[in-house]
A and B are shown apart, each in its own frame.
Chain A
Amino acid sequence: MAKILNDNAIGIRRRNRKVLIVGLLFTSPWIIGFFIFQLYPILASFYYSLTEYNLFSPPKWVGLGNYRKLFHDDKFYLSMYNTLYITIVGVVPHMAYALAMALLLNAKVKGQSLYRTIYFLPTLVPAVASSLLWMWLLNSQYGLINMGLHYIGIAGPNWLVDPDWTKPSLILMGFWGTGTITVMYLAALQDVPKMYYEAAEIDGASKWRQFWVITFPSISPMTLFQLIMMLIASFQYFTEGLVFAEATQSTGGPENSLLFYSIYLYQQAFSFLNMGYASAMAWMLFVVVMICALVIFRTSARWVYYGGDK
């Protein structure tokens, strides 16, 4: 009896090992790719962040020197400010707008799928192309936006040239590309059980109240997910800023108002060949994003509801 049990156990162990090996073999393309193209570079960048390195000569160890230098670099703070600006001012309005659009696109209206398609289309336009298009719209002299503002009696700002307006311009443009967020919200909205609304209606709750008591809590996991994703994307803001800055024939735009963190990082790395410093910048960004993400997760328990938990 005991012997049989023992044999069985070995058999299972053997089979498990075989399954494990087969599994590993199947996932090996990813595993190898991950080690070579992600993990190794990430770790290497940490090493380089502790050195002075110009791509050609061997790295020179400077310890925490690069990090110390960061804290004395005006442009580090400026680029961080620009990035935080676009994150803090941009992310929440973009999400609110996307949610509002999702609610509209969720309504039972004739031709809804057409509206959904039209609304989603701009998302398919590449970032550079949509930036160039928006630079025309935002042209202070002949742009459609200032023309529209003129009709209602507002003298539009000099969007692309006035350093106070360059970042709001980008945020404005961002509304155009919220299609993906909307589609995901739309999916979440369609998952909210109908019976809640029926019950609320019987109880006489207004649409407004229904939204805050039923809809918003039900889709809160999606909100959390979007918030984190957008936060990360926003901290890496690059392409649109670079294209807008090109309009004024510079890297950072008017008075460096478009010098975003990743643009400055790129400049340090590829224009100034300060690879060590740029690596340190990347790790600082990692730490900042990590802290932001952690804060959001810590507070999320208070506003995110999962169907199963509650």
Chain B
Amino acid sequence: MAKFRKKPLALLGSSVLVLSVLAGCGSNDNNEGSAGASAAGASPSASSAADASAKPKDKVEISFWTTYTDADAGPITAIVDNFNKSQDHITVKMLGNQDPTKQLTAISGGAAPDVLLTYWNNIGPWADAGAVRDLTDDISKSGFDVSSIIPAAMDRMMINDKYYAMPFTMSMASSLMYNKADFAAAGLTKPPETLEELSDYAKKLTKKDSSGNITQIGFIPDYPWIDNVFWPVIFGGSWIDSNGKLTPNAEPNVKAIAYQRSFYEEFGQSQIDKFKSGMGKRGTAQDPLLTGQMAMMVGWEYNFMPERAADGPIGVAPFPYPADHPELKGSGMVSPRAVFIPAKAKHPEEAWAFMQYLMTTDTQVQYSLDAHVIPTIKDALSDDRLYVDSNKTMADFYESAKSENLNGFPNSSYINEYLQSLSEETEKALKGTESPQEAMDKVAEKIQPLADGK
């Protein structure tokens, strides 16, 4: 008995152990004053030690962490090698496979890397917590021209009116991808122009069997995920106004959800759900758009890279716009990958030099060619070197990246709560348990206090 009685305690202890990790990290911050002081005191000797070991060239080694897996690390490794060869002051050491949780642990601990590449939505909470170096001074001192960057990408790096990171590359959802064979079978000769046409096309491209089960679907608005940013962007929505009032319930945002809901009303909730769960895995040979199970989908620049070639099975078109708002033509959502310097980095100046190198046109062009991504420097988008045959399927995306109508979600300390709440409520609205207006009112009500508090 007595033995059993202690068991739960010990096990519960381990449940609390999750927190121990945090607690362990926290202790550093508790002693921040003294730790900071000793670090400052130690740094001259530390750097002199480094000088001693690398005397001839006075080289500084900085560490650079990325999220890339080994399989995807080729292009970035080439960039880092080039940088190391281009000068003899800084050596960049790269470490891949560092997911955000690992990054968070590292930048909160004592041995933070000097530069990290991460998902842009981490920058808000991390910067607000004081873990990310404010780049304002670096930018002004080095004369870096922020306006050389695509605004939709650079805006994502701004938290409380300050820049905390640089958008190294960006992903973009601004196109409609479609199965050419499905279109031909339905007698459709060109992609839809407006959202109203998209609805019509979806009806024409959806097939049901005798018992009412869907066998082919035209379009699923929340495939592959509920996108709470893309759709409002397409409708010209916003999330915060200039007075700090959150606007998830603004008219265009609500319309964006109502539009998505209309597909469920048309084809049936349970039918779509059932069909969806039987669809092949995205990005494999069984991808529903490739097999023709699904005729159209929201397209990103990384989807169907070879298959969307002129003679391939997948067609690409600009995503349709609302017929009554032709000025929104060419809208799209931007989702950058951000590079930042932790506040605790030991070599921020060298890190900033490396970041600037990442943001030069030459680097951006080379990386875009190697990794088939969209550069974030405006000049790079028009660079002839990108428009070569081996990179042909990217050309349309470089063109659409020049659009004025690109947008993204505002970055902030509460961004993840805001996005989470939007997803939850949008899901309810799509299922019809709440009206789009009700759902978005709830988001505003729930998240506004966070926006006011921070």
Residues on A close to B: CB < 8 A? 37-38, 40-42, 44-45, 48, 53-59, 139-142, 158, 160-162, 224-225, 228-229, 232, 235-236, 248-252, 254-256, 262, 265-267, 269-273, 275, 278-279, 282-283, 285-286, 289-290, 293, 297, 306
Contact = CB atoms under 8 A, between A and B. Distances in A.
A275 B130 CA distance: 15
B31 to A, nearest CB: 10
Contacts of A228: 4, 7-8
B101 interface: yes
Contacts, number: 156
Interface in B286-330: none
B174 interface: no
A158 B12 contact: no
B4 A224 contact: yes
B96 to A, nearest CB: 20
Contact of B16 (A42, A249, A269, A293): A42
B396 to A, nearest CB: 26
Contacts of B8: 228, 232, 289-290, 293
Contacts of B5: 297
What 4 pairs between A and B have smallest CB-CB spacing?
A: A141-B278, A41-B20, A44-B23, A249-B225
B16 A45 contact: yes
A282 B16 contact: yes
Contacts of A273: 125-126, 129
A283 B414 CA distance: 24
A56 B424 CA distance: 29
Interface stretch (B77-85, B182-190, B361-369, B415-423): B415-423
Interface stretch (B154-162, B235-243, B267-275): B267-275
Given A45-B19, A55-B22, A232-B12, A139 B101 contact: no
B18 to A, nearest CB: 7
B104 A270 contact: yes
Given A56-B108, A56-B129, A275 B277 contact: no
Given A58-B30, A160-B277, A282 B131 contact: no
Given A56-B108, A265-B18, A272 B26 contact: no
B155 to A, nearest CB: 22
Contacts of B420: 251, 267, 271
A293 B32 CA distance: 40
Interface in B199-236: 224-226
Interface of B: 1, 4-5, 7-8, 11-27, 29-30, 32, 100-101, 104, 108, 125-126, 128-131, 224-226, 270, 273-278, 343, 414, 416-417, 420, 423-424, 427-428, 431
Q: Chain A binding site: helix, strand, loop or mixed by DSSP?
A: helix
Contacts of A282: 15-16, 18-19
A204 B261 CA distance: 68
Dominant SS among interface residues on chain B: helix
Interface centre among A41, A235, A255 (most CB of B within 10 A): A41
Nearest to A278: B19
Given A45-B22, A279-B19, A289-B12, 12 more contacts: A38-B20, A41-B24, A42-B16, A45-B23, A55-B22, A141-B278, A250-B226, A272-B125, A272-B416, A273-B125, A293-B8, A306-B1
Nearest to A53: B26
A25 to B, nearest CB: 23
A270 B416 CA distance: 10
A141 B19 contact: no
Contacts of A248: 225
B340 to A, nearest CB: 14
A255 B277 contact: no
Given A56-B130, A251-B420, A158 B277 contact: yes
